[in-house]
Structure 1
Amino acid sequence: MMNKTIQQVTDNIIKRSQPYRTLYLERIQEAKRHGVIRKKLSCSNLAHAMAAMSTDEKSSMSNMQSPNIAIVTAYNDMLSAHEPLQTYPDIIKKALHEKGATAQVASGVPAMCDGVTQSQPGMELSLFSRDVIAQATAIALSHNAYDGALYLGVCDKIVPGMFIAAMTFGHLPATFIPAGPMTSGISNAEKAKIRQEYAIGKVTQKELLKAESASYHDCGTCTFYGTANSNQMLMEMLGLHLPNSSFINADTPLREALTRYGAQNILNMTQLTDNYKPIADIIDERSFVNAIVGLMATGGSTNHTIHLIAMARSAGIILNWDDFEAISKVVPLLCKMYPNGSADVNAFREAGGMATVIHQLLSADLLHEDVTTIIGKGLRQYVVEPRLEDDTVIFDAGSTTSRNPDVISSIATAFNQEGGLKLIKSKIGRSIIKTSALKEENLLVEAKAVVFESQDALQAAFKAGELNKDFVAIVKYQGPKANGMPELHGLMPPLGILQDRGFKVAIITDGRMSGASGKVPAALHMTPEALAGGNLDKIRTGDKIRFDVKKGEILILVNEEEFDARVYESPHLEKNHHGFGRELFAATRDNVHQAEEGAGIFNLIGEEKG
């Protein structure tokens, strides 16, 4: 029987989503009735759509009996994870041509690298890029010339953005195709050590660059378990990737064969077959519960407490952080990958990967097994191991027990009896903390606040030697309305150094830290944000704060009347609103939702503005 808490959370989501979900499904049903999309095109429309195709392809396109599949690609050769996608369109077109079908690159979408923009002004466009990607994908599919869509993307905002658009075009079958991780470089522990040594001047910039380049050294996804690799896990939990395929290394024969297999598999899902299976018939409330379970069991990125909410809203489904916390309390932490362990995703793959994790969760009745996926009915079909035999993909039975218990444990021997994320409630709002890498002695911090209005200010205070003490860093005006909610990765090395020196330190912010938040207690995504009238703005340097991770609470230990009487400060954010294209996103900042609503600009189905 399904775990009672998991079932209760599912029932709660279904109930609160009902009016929006009903309207969404009605709209998708209306779109389904159109039939083969190309039949709605005039002769002039169709001629434009196939003008650049070969004679054979034009014949296939015009007979209306063979599918034409859209390829939406996030290829660029600056992102290591997306560089392999350069060859995918040709691979896909050839694979589909073998089956009498056609494919077209409907569009490219922007894809920025958070690794390049960390601590840079461009990071303030990172979260907003998700909704730009969704809009760009919608434009790609608006030509109405497609019977299905293949989405080529990997990294942080790209997959969620594509997913939002895919659900908007929910009448189309969809498959997400990854590029796979790069091979392992230097160990994550060594990389973290050198970063901290650089922060205190023990190693030179040249030595730091050498270490970073030895870690991020080839094409493919970065190998630590951050948002990009959490995306890959989620796509399998949602049934939109091929089984246990996400962490096959880039540019390998098996990776290419899986791309061909995924492309041909979508032909079995179009409206031209007897097995019409659009993405709206795959994704439902249970799918998102499974995704959250996977997030908790693997210790995934905190970014998905935002992205999953935005993704669900695109399907008329309402998630909130109470759902995440309730699931976290009953789902054990099964995986140790950096930053909550030393292993990387290649070690995870070798230990059994998603097949082992899914089997363990199914065995404990923590997943909805009977969901629909791109390959059929039921998540148990994902407990497999793909291999290549004579250029053909074969799915063997997967490993149900871990081949490396230091990386993947079992339900009986879990690393922690709860998942890796927790909801923090307080007078100043609601926030999320990643707990999977926190040591027992750091679960309670009681110290005076030091307030900063930017991450640069904290860095400057650290370099000036002003932070050699117990303190709680308040980094405000980092929310979506203020400056686009950048990730604050650059704050982890100095805070980690101070913790290593024996000081009790923590951070509270309305910004993000993604998978980088690790050994330092970090209350993230504080909602409402300071600029939107959140009480985070009322905290002053010197206020005593009690940050209790176990209890899930933050207490401001000052006179309540005095605190309530404080007025909100007026930040000077002009420098965050121009340069590096930020002036183009003024309307986005003005209209963006808060973090617990997905930090996006799109309203719920039925709540569209007039």
Structure 2
Amino acid sequence: MALHPVVEQVTQRIIQRSRASRRAYLAHLEAARVKGVQRGALSCTNLAHGFAAFPANDKLKLREQKQPSVAIVSSYNDMLSAHQPFEYFPRLIKEAVREIGAVAQFAGGVPAMCDGVTQGQPGMELSLFSRDTIAMASAVALSHNMFDAALYLGICDKIVPGLLIGALHFGHIPAVFVPGGPMTTGLSNKEKAAVRQRYAQGKATREELLECESQSYHGSGTCTFYGTANSNQMLMEMMGLHLPGAAFITPGTPLRDALTAAAAQQAVKISQQGGHYMPVGQVVDEKSIVNAIVALHATGGSTNHTLHLVAIARAAGIVIDWDDFDALSKVVPLLTRIYPNGDADVNHFQAAGGPGFVIRELLDAGLAHEDVNTVLGHGLRAHCKEPFLGEDGKVVWRDLPAHSGDESVLRPASNPFQANGGLVLVQGNLGRAVMKISAVKPEYHVVEAPALTFDSQDAFMHAYKAGHLNKDFVAVIRFQGPRANGMPELHALTPALSNLQDAGHHVALVTDGRMSGASGKVPAAIHVSPEILAGGPLGLVRDGDIIRVDATAGTLEALVPEDVWAARKQASADLSSSHIGMGRELFTVFRQAVSEAEQGACTFPLPSPIDTTVPLHEGADSGEIMPGSDEDFLFRTSK
């Protein structure tokens, strides 16, 4: 099937737009590569520190500097269900790597916070910034320069994007991403949402709500709805950074362990010493980024990826924007119905065919690039497979069935749930924003109503509980951008807004904050960019202004006379309470340095050109004295 012309057009304009920064990135990648093992550039003192505590056999391999060393970078903690399974992964990985003559070392851990725990709490204001913190922690783990490949153990909201951003800053090192899998199905998402709405109305007790939530989130693994965590896993499959079908195999099963072991061995194979060198900076390119956006639309994925994919691309020297998302959304059909865009969870999706089915359908429809690099080599078609446990206990892959196992959950591209991806760009005199409408009924795609402004979600909830919001209105939640307070998710507003909509009111949300990876049935124009603290016009809105949120026409307008609008001054707010406590003081530099939402809310720059005529390790093979070498140390101390 020929590539769809819009997919080709978007890809080409990304390539053109990114030409200088991508060239600079690839130059960085090549300059960081050395002949032989990476640790060969270390001095004897450096190297001795790097394997001092290792078992004798592993130490000998590291000392001989012939076999690759694989870094393990993990987001393990045992408080969070998605990350708890990673506790025993390092042991499996080390054993699997030893089987083929290499060594694996636990290079470092990265923080992992859960938006489910911090939702509506002060800690949520650290959530988005945790992504770049994770990238920095990954860089610290790899900064020892001991490693020839890396395995990244992560799964949830900011963790996978942060790990991938960190990995791409070491783009010369091959990378395989290793998920932990979803928890088994508990209380249905539909039942959970109903109890949440009843609680918001005061019709359910806290004890009833807690019991409902506990039945839903009941064991190890990711939450089973299709929020940011599980969108991450779909995108890692589509970008060829997982072994095929690894995303949604539940923890604690023989197949999950076999996939982890196979991922470890594949990391060795794609190291320079493994003979199939495939650095992560060559896997993530313009085509794979387009593929990721396509997969996001095809599965009704998280709005958070309108930030995270921009940041990931930026780390690889690739520049994308919301126009790219919007153009692709118009031609990519929705192939799945997974909560909140349906009643099914990711376990049902996996049983119906899972990521491999989606990838195959997109390739066959000409909606994705097949000619990309992956951790298996070249060509995405190899990832249209399903993993099984072989008789020897190792993973084997088989072709997927021709048809979906359940067309109420997963459909072919020839018979989609809807003709577009359901993510739209809206813009106008209030700025640019994104809307996810795949779960919004058509009658709510356009809302025109008076504005009610709030400077926090607490202020909104106070008005709701006081009974002041039983009418048509557009809630404008201001000062929620990355510079203001770290751009928290406002998902705690969902039950209240849903109740108001169910009561027959036309309501919508407009905010420079985030909503959620589980954005649902209420129309929400989110990530409004530029934010108020960057001069964005959302700060000009006053109570009573008529706001038009139009997902059909793609407009976001305050229907205010131009002369009145031009004469207004920006609203102000005391944000000090969002800058103190819960560690928020430590993130002052992030708030000061962060880019706009449409630029990924990043704290790091695009790659810039370097002098490629001077390799990073020049002199390593010529016998010259290098800074940091043992000879250099002796030379300096003898002077």
Indicate the residue corresponding to 2:165 in structure 1: 164
Indicate the residue corresponding to 1:422 in structure 2: 424
* SS in structure 2 at match of 1:561: helix
Match of 2:532 among 527, 530, 533: 530
- 2:414 is equivalent to residue 412 of structure 1: yes
Deviation digits for residues 453-503 of structure 1 (CA, Å, limit 9, x no counterpart): 000000000000000000000001000000000000100000000000000
Identity of aligned residues (%): 56
- Give the distance between the partners of 2:422 and 2:53, measured in 1 at CA: 50
Q: In the comparison of the two structures, how many residue pairs are matched?
A: 608
TM-score (ref. length: structure 2): 0.94
Indicate the residue corresponding to 1:16 in structure 2: 17
Indicate the residue corresponding to 2:477 in structure 1: 475
- Give the distance between the partners of 2:315 and 2:551, measured in 1 at CA: 32
- Give the distance between the partners of 1:244 and 1:275, measured in 2 at CA: 21
1:192-203 correspondence runs (5 A): 192-203=193-204
| Distance apart, 1:34 and its partner CA | 4.7
The one-letter code matched in structure 1 to 2:438 is S
| Distance apart, 1:191 and its partner CA | 0.2
Indicate the residue corresponding to 1:115 in structure 2: 116
- Give the distance between the partners of 1:75 and 1:511, measured in 2 at CA: 28
1:95-106 correspondence runs (5 A): 95-106=96-107
1:123-522 correspondence runs (5 A): 123-390=124-391, 391-522=393-524
| Distance apart, 1:273 and its partner CA | 3.1
* SS in structure 1 at match of 2:517: helix
- Give the distance between the partners of 2:454 and 2:92, measured in 1 at CA: 50
Indicate the residue corresponding to 2:629 in structure 1: none
- Give the distance between the partners of 2:58 and 2:247, measured in 1 at CA: 31
* SS in structure 2 at match of 1:330: coil
- Give the distance between the partners of 2:547 and 2:284, measured in 1 at CA: 42
- Give the distance between the partners of 1:606 and 1:559, measured in 2 at CA: 44
- Give the distance between the partners of 1:515 and 1:396, measured in 2 at CA: 31
| Distance apart, 1:4 and its partner CA | 0.3
1:443–1:607 Cα change, 3 Å: farther
Say whether the 8 Å CA contact 2:189–2:345 is kept in structure 1. Answer: yes
Hey, which bits of structure 1, 4+ residues long, moved more than 6 A?
A: none
* SS in structure 1 at match of 2:573: coil
- Give the distance between the partners of 2:241 and 2:555, measured in 1 at CA: 36
Indicate the residue corresponding to 1:548 in structure 2: 550
| Distance apart, 1:272 and its partner CA | 1.2
TM-score (ref. length: structure 1): 0.99
Deviation digits for residues 9-53 of structure 1 (CA, Å, limit 9, x no counterpart): 000000000000011111111112454211111111111110111
- Give the distance between the partners of 2:549 and 2:173, measured in 1 at CA: 47
* SS in structure 2 at match of 1:514: coil
The one-letter code matched in structure 2 to 1:214 is Q
| Distance apart, 1:84 and its partner CA | 0.1
* SS in structure 1 at match of 2:120: coil
- Give the distance between the partners of 1:103 and 1:516, measured in 2 at CA: 36
* SS in structure 2 at match of 1:71: strand
Say whether the 8 Å CA contact 1:188–1:338 is kept in structure 2. Answer: yes
Say whether the 8 Å CA contact 1:527–1:534 is kept in structure 2. Answer: yes
* SS in structure 2 at match of 1:286: helix
* SS in structure 1 at match of 2:18: helix
Deviation digits for residues 130-163 of structure 1 (CA, Å, limit 9, x no counterpart): 0000001001000011111100000000110110
- Give the distance between the partners of 1:351 and 1:337, measured in 2 at CA: 11
| Distance apart, 1:274 and its partner CA | 2.7
The one-letter code matched in structure 2 to 1:164 is I
Deviation digits for residues 263-309 of structure 1 (CA, Å, limit 9, x no counterpart): 01111111113321111121210000000000000000000000000
| Distance apart, 1:442 and its partner CA | 0.7
- Give the distance between the partners of 1:435 and 1:516, measured in 2 at CA: 12
Deviation digits for residues 404-423 of structure 1 (CA, Å, limit 9, x no counterpart): 00001121211110002110
Say whether the 8 Å CA contact 2:334–2:417 is kept in structure 1. Answer: yes
Deviation digits for residues 72-98 of structure 1 (CA, Å, limit 9, x no counterpart): 000001110000000000010011111
- Give the distance between the partners of 1:563 and 1:3, measured in 2 at CA: 42
Greater displacement, 429-438 / 550-559: 550-559
- Give the distance between the partners of 1:274 and 1:203, measured in 2 at CA: 61
Indicate the residue corresponding to 1:604 in structure 2: 606
C-alpha RMSD of the superposition: 1.0
- Give the distance between the partners of 1:318 and 1:417, measured in 2 at CA: 27
- Give the distance between the partners of 2:553 and 2:403, measured in 1 at CA: 33
Greater displacement, 573-582 / 397-406: 397-406
The one-letter code matched in structure 1 to 2:98 is H
Indicate the residue corresponding to 2:596 in structure 1: 594
Deviation digits for residues 487-535 of structure 1 (CA, Å, limit 9, x no counterpart): 0010000000000000000000000012222110000000001121100
The one-letter code matched in structure 2 to 1:516 is A
* SS in structure 1 at match of 2:132: helix
| Distance apart, 1:607 and its partner CA | 8.6
* SS in structure 2 at match of 1:15: helix
Indicate the residue corresponding to 2:47 in structure 1: 46
Indicate the residue corresponding to 2:27 in structure 1: 26
Indicate the residue corresponding to 1:581 in structure 2: 583
The one-letter code matched in structure 1 to 2:31 is E
| Residue ranges of structure 1 left out of the alignment (5+ in a row) | none
Indicate the residue corresponding to 2:69 in structure 1: 68
- Give the distance between the partners of 1:429 and 1:606, measured in 2 at CA: 29
Say whether the 8 Å CA contact 1:226–1:514 is kept in structure 2. Answer: yes
